[in-house]
Structure formats: C-alpha cells, structure tokens
Amino acid sequence: EAGVVQSPRYKIIEKKQPVAFWCNPISGHNTLYWYLQNLGQGPELLIRYENEEAVDDSQLPKDRFSAERLKGVDSTLKIQPAELGDSAVYLCASSQGAGETDTDTQYFGPGTRLTVL
C-alpha cells in the first residue's frame, strides 16, 4: 500500500515569494493533516480536514497561509508571501477518520523542507 506522498521534497525560495506544497493521502483516508516542524522540535498542527471540510484551522496563520482539499482527496498548502521564519519542514499526514472508535492512527509523508532566503 502506498504511503502519504508529498511534493516537492525540497524547496528554496526568496522571501516574499509564494510557495505551494502538495499532499496525496493514503487511499481511503478521510482525514488529512498539515503540520509544521521546526528543527529539533515536534510537529505543530496547522490544519485538519475531514473529507473536504477544514474542521480545525485554529493554528493556521490565515494572513499568509491557505489550504484546500478539493474533492476530499489531495490537498495543497500555500504560503503567500513567504517570510524568513517560515523555513521549516511541512508535513502531511492522513488517517482513516475514527468516528466512534477508540483511536485514529496518523501516517506521515516524508515532508517538504522549505528554505526561505
């Protein structure tokens, strides 16, 4: 079974430029997550989708970050304009969507390492 796919793996841009990251979740997974991970730290949730609906975007800096998950499968995370402090690894994860079950395991993609110069 294919895992979570992300592209690009690496991106270098100059500040004030736009950038977009793409994620394809595991087939059949209804829930999709975008995380930001700074060096030496754990992931921080940016946004969570249930199918095509963003159910938790409280940590997404909406002045410059946007995300979409059209048709409830692939997702795109965009930053416009990028700032120096946005340099980090952006991780996508997916899970089945547990409903009333006890747990809902998240599976992560390889991440996109963004460097803003």
Partner 1 sequence: GNSVTQMEGPVTLSEEAFLTINCTYTATGYPSLFWYVQYPGEGLQLLLKATKADDKGSNKGFEATYRKETTSFHLEKGSVQVSDSAVYFCALSVPRSNYQLIWGAGTKLIIKP
Sites of contact with partner 1 (CB under 8 A)? 4, 6, 31, 40-43, 45, 48, 55-56, 91, 93, 95, 98, 100-111
Q: Which residues contact 59 (CB under 8 A, 6 or more apart)?
A: 44, 45, 46, 47
In whole angstroms, how close is the CB of 46 to partner 1 at the nearest point? 12
In whole angstroms, how close is the CB of 62 to partner 1 at the nearest point? 19
- Between 60 and 91, CB nearer to partner 1: 91
Angle among Cα 51, 7, 56 to the nearest 5 degrees reads: 30
